Amino acid sequence: MAPATEAERRKFSGASEIAGRFAGVAATLSVPDMDAAVADCAAAGAEVIAPPAETPNGRRAVVRHPDGGVFEYVGR
């Protein structure tokens, strides 16, 4: 199978600079209030790698927890 073209990949994950932020994600967590979840993470010392934003697949964010784990958050 041939690798996806840039146009095909963009339909799924968006621009390369945005998609790169999601590399290395350990797990995806679905939360009812993403803004509150990301704010709670930041208050606990987490690094917000990609703040909540609309993507081709819905609203999502990426956070590095204080222990180093990287998690994607998606809104319900």
Q: Residue 17's domain is classified under what CATH number?
A: 3.10.180.10
Domain presence at residue 1? no
Q: What is the predicted pLDDT for the residue at 55?
A: 85
Domain presence at residue 68? yes
Residue 26 tokens, joined? 């350990």
Q: What is the predicted pLDDT for the residue at 26?
A: 85
Domain presence at residue 65? yes
- Structural domain including 47 reads 6-75
Q: Residue 62 — very low, low, confident or very high, per pLDDT cuts 50/70/90?
A: very high
Tens digits of residue pLDDT in 14-52 = 556 655 555 678 899 999 999 999 999 999 999 999 999
**Helix/strand/coil (H, E, C) string of 12-58?**
HHCCHHHHHHHCCCCEEEEECCHHHHHHHHHHCCCEEEEEEEEECCE
Neighbours of 49 (CB within 10 A): 16
Domain count, the chain: 1
